[in-house]
């Protein structure tokens, strides 16, 4: 049987950290280098020079060229994918539309040029990405929502999702969530209604479970009537987080996890009490037997 429940603020399985050559996982390395600090370092490094990202075609992606030191910090912050090239003075990264707009709009640390080398404003860039993908407003809102919470966000296409979310750099940890973005509201038109059909929900749940990820549904709605034609709408869009997990009745009934410390202490206390009770009755029983033997011997002598 398969039952699903929508959960908010639930305890989910922890991250699956990758291991180094010494066999130890990278949890301590990630804790010593929080993603928030890395992104702040990237912003400080980029904001003075404002490296240029060049739009690379109708798909909406862009290519960003940076120096060697900036390439290191860009890779540490897990933005884009490095493109192999022969020169060591210039490093190139392929960026998704969401990454381009986040670096330009949220961090304000790069500038974007069109194919004819003209600098684009945020509104022009927004229109460009919307013309390439009608769903860009809700996809970017979901991407920015997770990034602002210091999750690393990558494309989830190979997992049947919109995004996948990592607790830290993908080189250190496996992704925890397969993210599906669900818009709600008249302004989103016919893009609404995702996962309302049971078969769609089941497919998404099965796909995420088969790759050891929790299905995270981000519902995008507006607090008031807004126009998606301008990036100003981002302030009015609201994100609701929900996780969907499988509830296997037999597993919950028969397969228990290791007991917590409180449970162990409680069991030890019960055993101790039972031992005390057992010793008490042992004394009484022994006294009764000895008394019976003494009475028997007195009767025998008489």
The residues spanned by each domain of the chain are 33-133
Concerning whether 166 is annotated as a catalytic residue, the answer is: yes
Q: Which fold has domain 33-133?
A: MutS, DNA mismatch repair protein, domain I (3.40.1170)
In tens, the pLDDT along 73-119 reads 999 999 999 998 756 788 999 999 999 999 999 999 999 999 888 99
Q: Is 41 left (phi over 0), alpha (psi -120 to 50) or beta?
A: alpha
Which residue among 91, 166, 168, 169 is the active-site one?
166
Which residue among 91, 145, 169, 213 is the active-site one?
213
Spans of the chain below 70 pLDDT:
1-13, 58-59, 86-87, 248-302
**Residues making up the chain, counted from first to last:** 302
* pLDDT at position 245: 85
Question: How far, rounded to the nearest angstrom, does the alpha carbon of residue 59 sit from its chain's CA centroid?
Answer: 26
Asked whether the beta carbons of 247 and 3 are under 8 A apart, the reply is yes
Which residue among 174, 273, 280, 296 is the active-site one?
174
Concerning whether 141 is annotated as a catalytic residue, the answer is: no
* pLDDT at position 69: 93
Concerning whether 149 is annotated as a catalytic residue, the answer is: no
pTM for the full predicted model:
0.79
**Interatomic CA distance for residues 263 and 265, integer angstroms:** 5
* pLDDT at position 197: 86
* pLDDT at position 271: 44
* pLDDT at position 9: 39
Nearest to 63 by CA among 89, 96, 88: 96
């Amino acid at each position: 049987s398969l039952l699903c429940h929508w959960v908010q603020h639930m305890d989910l399985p922890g991250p699956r950290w990758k291991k180094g050559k010494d066999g130890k996982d990278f949890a301590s390395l990630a804790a010593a280098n929080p993603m928030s600090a890395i992104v702040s370092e990237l912003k400080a490094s980029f904001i003075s020079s404002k490296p240029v990202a060049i739009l690379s075609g109708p798909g909406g992606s862009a290519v960003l060229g940076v120096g060697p030191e900036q390439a290191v910090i860009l890779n540490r912050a897990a933005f884009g994918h490095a493109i192999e090239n022969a020169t060591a003075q210039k490093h190139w990264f392929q960026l998704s539309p969401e990454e381009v707009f986040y670096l330009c709009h949220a961090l304000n640390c790069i500038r974007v040029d069109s194919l004819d080398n003209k600098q684009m404003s945020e509104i022009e860039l927004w229109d460009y990405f919307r013309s390439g993908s009608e769903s860009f407003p809700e996809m970017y809102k979901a991407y920015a929502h997770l990034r602002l919470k210091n999750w690393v966000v990558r494309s989830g296409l190979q997992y049947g999702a919109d995004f996948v979310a990592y607790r830290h750099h993908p080189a250190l940890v496996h992704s925890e969530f397969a993210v599906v973005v669900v818009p709600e509201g008249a302004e989103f038109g016919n893009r609404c209604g995702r996962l309302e059909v049971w078969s769609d929900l089941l497919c998404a749940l099965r796909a995420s479970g088969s790759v050891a990820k929790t299905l995270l549904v981000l519902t995008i709605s507006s607090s008031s009537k807004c126009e998606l034609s301008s990036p100003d709408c981002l302030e009015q869009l609201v994100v609701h987080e929900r996780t969907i997990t499988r509830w296997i009745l037999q597993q919950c009934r028969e397969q228990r996890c290791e007991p917590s410390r409180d449970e162990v202490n409680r069991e030890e206390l019960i055993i101790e009490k039972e031992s005390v009770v057992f010793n008490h009755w042992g004394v009484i029983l022994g006294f009764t037997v000895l008394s019976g033997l003494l009475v028997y011997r007195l009767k025998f002598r008489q």
